[in-house]
Chains A and B, each alone.
Chain A
């Protein structure tokens, strides 16, 4: 297939029609706000907290926030790509827990197994889910819901119905994964940075990224355009599983054990982060970096709530709920402003 413009098109038109789609200033601002609203909120929040709580801006506190975020960031990243295609992955919380257990159990065979086993197992679950979603008409909601139950069931089997908690050997190199540092930042943070960078690259600079957005934006058109719709869906859910497994492994390394009760509701936290970051839940458009911002924002809010003395995680939940609503409403208003100056067709 040729890459150069088809010669047949050269100067095919007698005259040129200039189409300037006017962007009002309000619309430009709205678009900016939608894309970067979460970042702006985060920046403001951080500044406010730095002023209000002197102990906020300590290296210790900030790196704590960074590390905590980096455990969940891979999850949110995987979810972001799934949402690009207009799908959803409700299984990531359970798969995350499964990853942790697999890592803890595998750590007795060495650090390599401790990392590869969760990746393989969780990736496999993602692969199966992706295949079902790509090849049947069953909605992703249902398939990953089943995945949630299945993964948790598997988890229970591996741990004797939840009674066994595998511990990572105290001298295992696997622990270094979460505790070691490089240039002052923990490995998980670096992993997250690399993942986000790769994610942005894939989205903007690869055919696969455009395909995902096309599938989410207008799937029938994508089919007719000859894009590999099925394959892209299978891949995206597999990657989501892989990343959930990775996050689980990182957590297991940090806590030195495979806790089985983790991750309940985590998928919804991931979805919250994605929404906060500015990606459309309906698919077709979005930002990778935004999801990272969303995760960090949630962590900072958690930090804030702790400092306000409301150590009860329930207040956390309430605030997260309100925050989600506020941001979502803001985004809707912004989209409405943008839609208003779209030209009408007859």
Chain B
């Protein structure tokens, strides 16, 4: 159901006081200028898109607008009057409400309490009216299309539902400005539709909405105006409808329009082995080091794309994990990239975690190179040559207080030490190779990894796994939350790894990335394999069709295992 938003109301042409405005705002953090002279305004009764790669300054701008940060220069105007917010609570009190990308609610409290936290309805005695609170929470969630037990803990619900509840809370505060920061990242299609409906209604009531999203399709569906940030500056502001997709991307990347048209939106298919190439083909701006062989000859010594061998390097059969996966099976061959697709909650992350031994399985078999691997053991998987790049690098990847070099060799410490004593020489050799090869930007390998940008952190993690000389590399959202330059580098790297004979499983929520990057695609749904796409079928439209699936089974009374009898 894709509808384009109606043309902006005529009043947008007349000079109206913006509901919220940043005027010449500059913000610096410890020597880095996050925002430089940014002027941004959102009109009442309009949905204004804020776009830019990570590191462009979107989050910082939002934090300035909502009082989490104070600008170093410039001013903030609220309904035309200059204001300054001391804390987030002040902005909220002023009628600015935010829906954050990470669900900022309290998992151990009930749904009802979360919705009304801080503004609970009271009885005459001044105590919280629990009954009324629960009743109203029930009503609100129903209106949003979710029928859930509002007295249960929030943390027991899936992320998508939690995000809807965060939306309910933000909206019920009766704000005049609503900021939505990547609100759809955890939502299913129908929830996205509901969110759009809510946003449009708010707009029709004169609320000003700032909408941040990486999902470019959504922008044209929903938004009236757009502002594009790059490197902390505004590079474009204007109407949404008159901007083309290519123009948008080229503004975001700072690259030529035709360039984008010729080479696709992602870094896949960029000329791989000709490293150091300039201009059109190479990853945006940073060229990785000379094309020496990847350290770890287990990866394969050929430099040309090998023919897909007959025997799979990874073979998964009958994978069962309590309540999460049912009879999942697939193969990956050497040199092949298998995309793993599905909606949120379909079990993609669970699958790769189960294959890696990080998720408890009740049944099934995993074979690497034909030999079975002991289930439920990360160490066994590692020795068999399986590596997993987790989705959440903050929670499951980066050890923040350790240096870059310690993070890189974390999984292979036994190999760089004798009798437990670490050999600096061996570590340095390994680390230097990967820092060069992957283009990790550090002032020194002994730098704390927490000081690196998201993209560089991701590369550190990739280096960590490559050190283990894997034969199978499971990648869960490898380009999430990193800037476009690094994104393209990582995509190019994936191509190269496959070219050198690794078997790769790729999970990505961005269909461009999945389609352009994969040779074949397996689609999951509710923990089961629901479709397989091969060869020419690997296209965006076929993928979308597979994701949406049979229309008849999409209704409430369908095969959703989470439903109980009414």
Contact = CB atoms under 8 A, between A and B. Distances in A.
The 4 closest A-B pairs by CB, nearest first: A13-B145, A226-B89, A20-B564, A221-B104
B400 interface: no
Interface in A289-346: 340-346
A219 to B, nearest CB: 9
A4 interface: yes
Contacts of B169: 225
A5 B143 contact: yes
B172 A9 contact: yes
B119 A13 contact: no
B261 interface: no
Select the residue from B106, B171, B202, B322 with max chain A CB neighbours within 10 A. Answer: B106
Interface in A1-59: 1-6, 8-22
B136 A17 contact: no
B136 A5 contact: yes
B146 interface: yes
Interface size class of A (residues with CB under 8 A): 35 or more
Select the residue from A9, A15, A205 with max chain B CB neighbours within 10 A. Answer: A9
A4 B140 CA distance: 10
A17 B106 contact: no
A20 B347 contact: no
Interface in A265-308: 284-285
B349 A226 contact: no
B121 interface: yes
B509 to A, nearest CB: 9
Contacts of B88: 223-224, 226
Contacts of A285: 108
A284 B149 CA distance: 20
13 contacts: A2-B172, A4-B136, A5-B136, A9-B140, A9-B144, A12-B143, A14-B190, A16-B145, A18-B556, A18-B560, A342-B156, A345-B344, A346-B343
Contacts of B511: none
Interface stretch (A102-110, A119-127, A170-178, A209-217): A209-217
A221 B197 contact: no
B563 A14 contact: no
B308 interface: no
A319 B172 CA distance: 53
Nearest to B119: A1
Contacts of B349: 344-346
A163 interface: no
Interface in B115-158: 117-121, 127-128, 130, 136, 139-140, 142-149, 152, 155-158
Interface of B: 68, 87-89, 92-93, 98, 100, 104-109, 113, 117-121, 127-128, 130, 136, 139-140, 142-149, 152, 155-161, 168-169, 171-174, 186, 190, 193-194, 197-198, 201-202, 205, 322-324, 342-350, 555-556, 560, 562-564, 566
A345 B159 contact: yes
A211 B118 contact: yes
Contacts of A15: 145, 190, 555-556
Contact of B109 (A12, A16, A214): A214
Contact of A21 (B152, B173, B566): B152
A9 B346 contact: no
B118 A227 contact: yes
Contacts of A16: 142, 145-147, 556
A207 B120 contact: yes
A342 B162 CA distance: 14
Nearest to B349: A346
A3 B119 contact: yes
B149 A18 contact: no
B291 to A, nearest CB: 36
Nearest to B159: A345
A217 B108 contact: yes
A9 B143 contact: yes
Given A5-B136, A9-B172, A346 B345 contact: yes
Contacts of A225: 92, 104-105, 117-118, 169
B324 to A, nearest CB: 5
A346 B346 contact: yes
A340 B362 CA distance: 13
A301 B171 CA distance: 53
B128 A8 contact: no
Contacts of A8: 171, 198, 201-202, 205
A18 B339 CA distance: 30
Given A17-B145, A18-B564, A9 B171 contact: yes
Nearest to A342: B156
A64 to B, nearest CB: 36
B106 A218 contact: yes
Contacts of A345: 158-160, 186, 344-345, 349
Contact of B173 (A1, A22, A206): A1
A204 B130 contact: yes
A264 interface: no
Contact of A6 (B106, B174, B348): B174
B93 A205 contact: no
Contacts of A217: 106-109
Nearest to A227: B118
Contact of B105 (A3, A22, A218, A343): A218
Contact of A210 (B120, B143, B344): B120
A13 B143 contact: yes
B344 A346 contact: yes
Contacts of A210: 109, 113, 117-118, 120, 128
B340 to A, nearest CB: 10
Contacts of B87: 223, 226
Given A5-B140, A224-B88, A21 B146 contact: no
A207 B345 CA distance: 34
Contacts of B201: 8, 12
A96 to B, nearest CB: 30
A69 to B, nearest CB: 28
Contacts of A10: 143
A220 interface: yes
Nearest to B203: A8
Interface string A116-145: 000000000000000000000000000000
Select the residue from B88, B120, B127, B156 with max chain A CB neighbours within 10 A. Answer: B156
Contacts of A227: 89, 117-118
A185 interface: no
Contact of B156 (A21, A204, A222): A21
Contacts of B324: 344
Contacts of A22: 562, 564
Contacts of B323: 341, 343-344
Contacts of A201: 127
Contact of B136 (A3, A20, A205, A284): A3
Contact of A3 (B121, B159, B564): B121
A340 B324 CA distance: 11
Interface string A210-254: 110110011011111111100000000000000000000000000
Given A18-B566, A344-B324, A213 B109 contact: yes
Contact of A2 (B147, B174, B322, B342): B174
A228 B86 CA distance: 13
A1 B105 contact: no
Given A207-B118, A211-B118, 6 more contacts: A1-B173, A6-B171, A8-B202, A20-B563, A223-B88, A344-B324
B64 to A, nearest CB: 15
B144 A12 contact: yes
A218 B113 CA distance: 14
Contacts of B148: 19, 21
Contacts of B160: 345
